[in-house]
A and B are shown apart, each in its own frame.
Chain A
């Protein structure tokens, strides 16, 4: 074989060097990531503002929301058929329509949104009814300790302790970015838990059940933290959002 292919048998093992070099660059990338990421975020954030095509949104850290759903399809609900049921350990269970919720006093907050997978959308306005107002209206019983949220996608669930649920920065949100919540953002009504990672802010909210103890939600049964404070859970150290 040597005599037949002299050209190909000898030569420098450059292939191996390219492979090892790629591995080395990858490792270096992991080490240098925090610095690189800050630079790129600043650059792409600026570029995204001037980009009419929206293509920068597809780049990693290019800004904007990502759509996550745990089911294959989610029914669409509107003012005619949307219902939010408040029940469990309460004196006065009640079902709200979209019009009922809109008639209640609205609170607007402008804070960053931080996803546990890393993306962050700065200064996002949310508007809606404070969860504490709905809980007070329902009359939470003395033995209650937690609140469980269910969604009309039929699968997603979330939970908060009663103390967390009563915080002033937890909303039953009807509007985001000063527009009515669209379907892909969890509309017409979603939960908004400002100080926590965004998986706590359940989309397509359809049920609020007051319970005795916290029951882990959908992602929490799959390894995420139940107390999902931004910057102080899930092994992350992001800047707090609230």
Chain B
């Protein structure tokens, strides 16, 4: 009886992420979470009033921001992680089809071909990486105020504030989509996904 139940489930699980990818995602997410929460406590008046301790919150925000790229840099030592970065980087003809369909809000499966990562995930990954580096750069200009000329700091603050708002919205979208897809979350939590999910969401992926 047990055999009949276990055998098919074991057979239909497909390995999606190794321990390195999962660790990088988890630590980056945690650091980003700290950045966002401390930013909110510095910025939103009601939260600032509730939390206070401005100096401590600033320190935590600065150091978690500085640490944000570290998990990815450490992950580069892993061949599997580098391979995934390669998949995220390379766009094929099917990604163009996917993006066009997304712009038309066409949700039919046939118009959304995807490899290991779909085009939306690829664009998100590249953008959030670039945006985080811009936040890091402008953040450093705001942190080490006496090292930079007068106008730089005000300008850096301006970019840091508006990009923070943009990242907040995009990040909410990222988390919202993950909440809507339990199997994708299981992939990052356990490392494997069901065969049925993989064939449906990532038909061109050949694990």
By a beta-carbon cutoff of 8 Å, the part of chain A in contact with chain B is 4-5, 7-23, 25-27, 29-31, 33-34, 36-37, 57-61, 65-74, 117-118, 184, 222-223, 234-237
Contacts and interface: CB of A to CB of B under 8 A. Distances in A.
A19 B131 CA distance: 8
Contact of B115 (A8, A21, A61): A8
B interface, size bucket: 35 or more
B49 A69 contact: yes
B68 interface: no
Interface stretch (B102-110, B152-160, B189-197): B152-160
Given A33-B159, A67-B48, A223-B145, A235 B153 contact: yes
B165 interface: yes
B3 to A, nearest CB: 31
A144 to B, nearest CB: 31
29 contacts: A7-B94, A9-B86, A9-B90, A10-B92, A12-B90, A14-B89, A15-B123, A16-B89, A18-B123, A19-B130, A22-B127, A22-B131, A23-B134, A26-B134, A29-B134, A29-B155, A33-B158, A33-B159, A60-B162, A61-B158, A66-B45, A67-B45, A70-B55, A73-B52, A117-B157, A234-B145, A235-B153, A236-B150, A236-B153
A15 to B, nearest CB: 4
A81 B167 CA distance: 46
B53 interface: yes
A23 B130 contact: yes
A72 B51 CA distance: 6
Instruction: Determine which residue in A15, A70, A74 has the highest number of CB atoms from chain B within 10 A of its CB, and name it.
Output: A15
Contacts of A61: 158, 161
Contacts of B126: 14-19, 22
Interface in B156-207: 156-159, 161-163, 165, 204-206
Contacts of B137: 26
A218 to B, nearest CB: 9
A36 B76 CA distance: 37
A72 B53 contact: yes
A72 B52 contact: yes
A31 B163 CA distance: 15
A31 B155 contact: yes
B32 interface: no
B158 A12 contact: no
Given A22-B131, A22-B134, A72-B52, A15 B153 contact: no
A19 B156 contact: no
Nearest to A66: B45
A65 B149 CA distance: 26
A58 B44 contact: yes
Nearest to B154: A118
Contacts of B123: 15, 18
Given A60-B165, A66-B45, A71 B130 contact: no
Contacts of A67: 45, 48-49
Instruction: Determine which residue in A33, A117, A223 has the highest number of CB atoms from chain B within 10 A of its CB, and name it.
Output: A33
B158 A29 contact: yes
Given A21-B130, A58-B44, A184-B49, A29 B92 contact: no
Contacts of B146: 223, 235
A15 B45 contact: no
Interface in B20-62: 43-45, 48-49, 51-55
Contact of B127 (A18, A33, A60, A72): A18
Given A7-B206, A69-B53, 10 more contacts: A15-B89, A26-B130, A27-B134, A29-B158, A29-B163, A66-B43, A70-B55, A118-B158, A222-B55, A235-B146
Contacts of A19: 126-127, 129-130, 133
B204 A8 contact: yes
A237 B87 CA distance: 47
A30 B161 CA distance: 11
A12 B93 CA distance: 9
A223 B126 CA distance: 36
B17 interface: no
